[in-house]
Amino acid sequence: MAAGLGAGWRAAGHRVLAGGRSGPVSLAEAGRFGDVTLLAVPATAVVEVLAHVPTGGLVIDCTNLVTPDGVGHPYAAAVAARPDLRVVKAFNLCHESAWRLPSRVFGGRPLAVPMRGPPDAVARVAPLAADLGCTPFDAGGPERAALLEATAAFAIGLWFAGLDAQAVLTPPLG
Ligand SMILES: NC(=O)c1ccc[n+]([C@@H]2O[C@H](COP(=O)([O-])OP(=O)(O)OC[C@H]3O[C@@H](n4cnc5c(N)ncnc54)[C@H](OP(=O)(O)O)[C@@H]3O)[C@@H](O)[C@H]2O)c1
């Protein structure tokens, strides 16, 4: 996710620094860099990694956690651990392969990217989806971020079952 989204944002003219627990750039250095931090780590590592984001930072949480009995809630865990941060749930519904493609237009429609979080934070993150050729939309406040996590868990289940998620979610017709 970091490689795909980061490359897309670089191509759109943004400065991007990828950090990690191994490699030349530390998590702390990456956390201090720029004005938006993408958390592209396993959901179980979210709280630990958030410790490297300075007070008041703006964070994009793209993580998913599918558990044997359903879905975990990394967004709620992040907000509980760091109430000083503004966290936006976004980019978690689409497979990472989409970010490696030259275009995010599927079936003639740009990929839509729902986002949930504090409205001012969503307003800051939305242009980052537009920069990737996507259609961002504010899907509601932080109290409903868990719905995006449950939707991802459901969609991932469909993919693994070989089913067509788009067909399942067809809107009312006629
Ligand atoms: N793959 C998808 O299609 C997709 C789609 C939507 C959302 N997501 C979500 O996006 C997140 C990232 O997925 P991904 O596919 O990009 O995973 P990934 O390729 O496995 O990359 C995860 C990264 O997290 C790092 N990491 C793991 N544990 C860490 C820890 N305790 N502290 C610091 N860094 C740690 C790993 O670094 P090391 O090299 O040091 O292990 C690795 O660089 C996940 O939560 C996933 O559910 C994935």
Which residue bears the tokens 């984001």?
53
If one residue of 22, 41, 67, 89 were mutated to test the ligand 1 pocket, choosing by the most ligand atoms within 8 A of its CB, it would be 41
Which residues are within 8 A (CB) of 52 and not within 5 positions of it... i.e. 6 or more apart? 19, 26, 27, 28, 30, 31
How far does the chain reach from its first CA to its final CA, in angstroms?
38
Does residue 172 fall inside a structural domain?
A: no
pLDDT given for residue 61 in this prediction: 98
Ligand 1: residues within 6 Å at CB? 1-2, 20-22, 40-43, 45, 48-49, 62-64, 92, 95-96
Would you say residue 94 lies in a domain? yes
* 120: containing domain: 2-167
Task: Read off the pLDDT of residues 134-173 as tens digits, 9 standing for 90 and up.
Answer: 999 999 999 999 999 999 999 999 999 999 888 888 888 8
| 138 found inside a domain | yes
CATH code, domain with 140: 3.40.50.720
User: What is the whole-number distance in angstroms between the Cα of residue 11 and the centre of ligand 1?
Assistant: 22
Q: Kindly give the number of the ligand 1 atom that is closest to the alpha carbon of 20.
A: 34
**Count: domains in the chain:** 1
Rounded-to-integer distance, Cα 86 and Cα 134, Å: 22
Half-sphere exposure of 46 (CA within 13 A, CB side): 26
